[in-house]
Structure formats: structure tokens, C-alpha cells
Structure 1
Amino acid sequence: MPVDPDPHRDPRSAAAADDTVAPYDPVSPADRGAALDAIRAAFPALAWESSQWIDEGWDHVVVMCHGCRGADSLGHRDLVFRFPTDEQALARLPHEAAVLDHLSAGVDAAIPRYTHVPPDGGFAGYPLVYGDRLTPDLLRSLPTTDRTMIAGQLGALLTALHGADTSVPPLDRVPDSYQPENLDFVRGIVANDLPAVFTEDEMRTAREICDEVAALQSTLLPRVLLHNDVYVRHLYWDARTSPGRLGLIDFTDMCLGDPAVDFAELYEYGPRFVDEVLARYVGRIDETFLDRAWAYQRFAGLYMIVGHLYYGEETWEYARATFDRCRSPRRPLA
């Protein structure tokens, strides 16, 4: 799928922008004025040289503070503060922080680890996960050694996540997959809104995608800890370290479900990359694994269309290109 300009570019390689959300309640993406005040109030011994406002997320807005100093910086030069924009994301934030703290010691890739959590809640911050957004163009431009490292680190990270013991705290409170609710929601939009913008052939494809995912939901499948949103906007590559280091951000939608879900949107990088990651993954794989991943990728493409129509998220061109890329029922082969 095409990608938007990268707002999360490594401050060591690009200049930061400027800007500014209210603590203790979900914030509006338009409510910029209160964000820096909330950070200052919670961490009075924190100062910064510049700040950047990012509102591309579906359930959070982000304030990035660059050039941080003072006792409340805890020695970090760049901090990311996330402000939930709905009640559900707000309620999940403390648990997300606890889970990431639990996971961090067992993974080599960079993942967020919350260091700045106000006592009254409302938002939380962590040291920036450095790197450049891992777009398909960036991956293609890298030398073979880097591409191999990325596949290896991502395979190892997914192995660690999917192998985590979900019976122990705080993983025992990770919810089951939201996919059944999402499917019901998508079916409603398909029935009521898509006929105005889709051809009859496209409508058949949309209904087919929903039926395929419904069939998978009625199948007994492995149930593991999922990131549940592994795609281009959440993957980063820091080539300025030696060796380079992969980063994965935004664990808001983590849940328990089919491990194939976390491979679905890797198809944006092409089937060869999916195969390379899978070759370095140690988990419960069977002959249907990649077919399931492709089914979930098709559902993600349809969800992009729904997100545009219902929430106003993404541009029509972005959503349309995503859907068109994964319309075929045939899984692409390397």
C-alpha cells in the first residue's frame, strides 16, 4: 500500500517539527493547545528544544519532544507522549505499559517502554524508538545484509511475542481478538455503504472476504499474544547502530488470536519478505498458515475502505490502493 510522509523520522537524521492535548480524558485530535501544558504539569523538571504533533493514528495523538533535558528527562533526549482519543484506548493504556515493561527484557528489537506515566493517568510517554519508517521502498533500497537482519529480527520478535506465557500477569489480562466485532462492523458497512462506491464485482469480493474471515473464526486455531497491527507505519529500521536494529511501536490493539494475523500486512513488502520472516520464526506453523495470513491481509484492505467511509481515516486513494493490492483470493508467491 502507499505510505504517507513519515512524521516519526529519526531526529538524528531529520529536523523535528513543532506543536502541541488534555490529560485525564480522551483528547480531540484538534485539541493541540493543552498537550504541552499537560506534559509540563506532570513533569515540571522536563524541558525540550522542539516538539512535534502527530495525529495520523486512529485512537491516539502523539506529542514528540526533542532535545529533552532536566531531571524529568531521565537522561532521554527524545520522548514520545501518547494521548488516547477515545475511552477504550484510554482504559487500555496502563495495561499496555505494564505488558511492554514485562516483554522488554525478552526481546532484542526496540519496543516502547513507558518511563513517563503521570499518577493521574490520561497520557504516558516513552523514549523514542529510533529509526526510519520501514517503507517498502526503504526495504528494497537496503543491502541484502540489512534485509536479512530485518527479517531475522522481526522473525525473532514475533517468536518472542507469540511464545509469551499468557497465563501470567500482566499478560493474563490481554483481551481476546477484536476481530469478531470488527467483522460484524465491516459487514454492516459493506451492506449499507459500499454499494454506493463499489462495482458489483467489488461487492462480491468484499462479501467473499467477510465470509472467508468468518470461516476462520469458526475454526480451532492457535491462540497467542498478538501485536495485531504489524505494518509499515509501526515498523522502523535504525541503520545508524551497528548492527542495525528493528523497532516496532503501537501495541494498543494487542490481543490473543491466530499468530498468522501478525504476518498478514507484511505482504505489503512482498511475498518473498513474508517467506524470509517466516523462515526465521519459531511458532505453530501448518500448511494453512500463509493462506490464513493472506485472508487477514485481504480483510485489512477492506477495513481500510471501511475506515475511510465511516471514520474519515485515511484518504480514499490510500484506502483504495490498499484494497486493490489484496483483492485476489490467490495468495501471492515469491
Structure 2
Amino acid sequence: MKELIKNHLPHLQEIQIESNHSGWDHHIYIVNQTYVIRIPKTKQVLVKIKKEIKLLHQLSYLSSIIEIPNYLPFYNKDGQMIGVFYHFIKGQALSHSLITPPLYEAKRLGTFLTELHRLDIDEAKKCNIEELHSENYWAQLHQALIKKIFPFLKDAEKEEIDKMFLAVSKFKEAKVVIHGDLTSANILYHPSKKEISGIIDFTDTQIGDPAFDFAGLYWDFGDQFTKEALASYQTKFNKDEMYRRVTSFYGLQPIFHKWLKNVNDQDEKVVRQSISTGMTKIQIMHR
């Protein structure tokens, strides 16, 4: 790895590498607290990251409110692209701290999403950005829950989840370019400056419902933070309806993915505990 880094960053006289294995899709290395290297774990993710390079190039002309990575290709010794590298953005992922950012930072996120969602869809399609959360996607998720999770649920709980998926089948909002994974794991925060310092990981960027990008804020930071972000978000869409879609479905659906992961891990005790906790959260947040 050091030899490859020297090839890409010949000006570095000493190289110190910190390995961060917290990424789901990437091996992540931090070099001298100055550069980040992301190596996809699969060929499928490598294809996504090539799309990401083109998208971030477009977004760099628009976004000035919060820093985003500027990817450069990272090659192996045979000249094949195996990942990307970029200047380290100072800050800590909010998922790694107990910090809830102040409400005025929600407004900056709302402004950032205004800029992102204004990207031209036709230009995004040229970068092979496509719609992923189609009606079929949600229908398949629903069927997976019926098959693997419903056996653990009471009839009233099954009915509540069925109603949630019936509601999402009726979402017909116009589509925009969305981040697709705007959660605390991908929002960097600078503790001493008390501000959000960067947005990272655009691997899941897609064409989709603009409300989806507020779901992670709702899940991680709650109701008031989400409302503040929406207040500064400029759009032609009905923001009350966007908020309703977040609170009725998008902001809760991470629970379903967690349940399915636990089932696939084949730990029934964990499954039952996770379902109990998840249903409690759904009932509280879905009121």
C-alpha cells in the first residue's frame, strides 16, 4: 500500500497510515491525517464509485455551504483503478460521537440539500445515476419482511407495517438527484468550531424522492432538527407532504433493514429483541 501511495503522492516524505474498517462497502485508509483513500470491497461498489467521481465534479460547481470530497482515481501497480483518494476533511463522523449538532446546523444541511437537489437530472443520468427506490424496490422489501419477519409479529403489528407499505406505494412525488445515505455516519462535525465540516460517501446517490434525504436526519437527530432543515430547504414541492413521507415511512424504514440483517445472521434471540425495540420505536415515531 505504501508503494502505491508514494506513486500517487510523491511529495510525501513520510507516510503514516491509519486503517478505518468501519465502512460497509469500502476499506478506508487515512494517510498522515491529510488524505483519505477509499478502496471498494467489491466490483459492484467500484462501478458506483466511478459514477461518484463524475457526480462530485458536477456538485463541486454548486456546493459552497459544506465541504465535499474531490475524488481522484487511485490505481494499482498495473494501472487499473481500484479506488479513489481525496484531501482529508477535518471532523468526526457524527455517528462516532454523542454530539447532536446545534439547530442552526440543520439550516446549513437544508441549504446543502437545496443545492444537491437542483442538479440537472439529465446530466446525472449521463453519469449513470439512476432510480433505485422504485415501487418494485419497496415491494420486494415488503415481501422480504412478510417472509422473514412477520412470523415473529402479532397481527396488529403486521397490519401496521402493511399500512406503511401501502402508503409508500402511493408516493408519486417528482424525482430529483439525492444523496441516498445522508445519515450521521456520512456527516462530519468539527467539535471545536461547532459546525458541520463535510458531507461524504455519495456511493448511494440516485434519482429519487427528495424527502428521502431528510430521513436520516429524522432517524439520527429527531423531529425538531428535521423541521429546521426543511425550513431552510428551498423547493417547489410541498414541504408538509415531504415531512409526512419522512415521518410515516422513510425515517422508519432503517428498522426493517436491521431486522432482516439480524434474521440473516440467524440469531433468534437478537431478532426478537430487535423486533420488540423496533416496533416500540415505530409506534412512538409513527404517531
State the TM-score, normalizing by the size of structure 2: 0.81
Counterpart pick for 1:115 among 59, 64, 72: 72
Residue in structure 1 matching 2:56, options 96, 100, 103: 100
> Where does 1:145-294 land on structure 2 (aligned, <5 Å)?
147-168=102-123, 173-180=128-135, 182-195=137-150, 198-200=152-154, 204=158, 208-209=160-161, 212-213=164-165, 215-241=167-193, 244-267=195-218, 268-283=220-235, 284-294=237-247
Contact preservation (8 Å) 2:2, 2:15: no
Aligned equivalent of 2:30: 64
1:81 and 2:41 are equivalent in the alignment: no
> Cα 1:170–1:180, aligned 2, differ >3 Å: closer, same or farther?
closer
Q: What are the Cα deviations for residues 85-122 of structure 1, in whole angstroms up to 9, with x where unaligned?
A: 22221111111011112102311201111134335211
Structure 2 counterpart SS, 1:164: coil
Change (3 A) 1:80 1:180: farther
Does the aligned pair in 2 maintain the 1:159–1:281 contact within 8 Å?
yes
- Give a deviation string over 1:209-241, Cα, whole Å, max 9, x none: 465345434442120010011111111112445
Is the 2:187–2:196 Cα contact (8 Å) retained in structure 1? no
CA distance in 2, matches of 1:258, 1:285: 12
Query: What is the CA deviation profile of residues 56-106 of structure 1, one whole-angstrom value per residue up to 9, with x for unaligned ones?
Result: 332222112125xxxxxxxxxx21111112222111111101111210231
**After TM superposition, which residue ranges in structure 1, 4 or more long, deviate above 6 angstroms?**
none
Query: For this pair of structures, how many residues does the alignment match?
Result: 275
Query: What are the Cα deviations for residues 253-307 of structure 1, in whole angstroms up to 9, with x where unaligned?
Result: 0001111101112122121111111111111234321110121112122112223
Higher relative contact order (CA 8 A, sep 6+): 2
* Residues 157 and 279, structure 2, Cα contact 8 Å, conserved in 1: no
**Cα distance in structure 2, aligned partners of 1:79 and 1:170:** 29
Distance 1:327 1:88 in 2: 33
Contact 1:155/1:278 (CA < 8 Å) preserved in 2?
Answer: yes
Give ranges in structure 2 of 5+ residues lacking alignment: none
Q: CA RMSD in A?
A: 3.2
Letter in 1 for 2:199: L
By how many angstroms is 1:247 displaced? 1.4
Name the structure where helix makes up a greater proportion of residues.
Answer: 2
Name stretches of at least 5 consecutive residues in structure 1 with no aligned partner: 1-34, 68-77
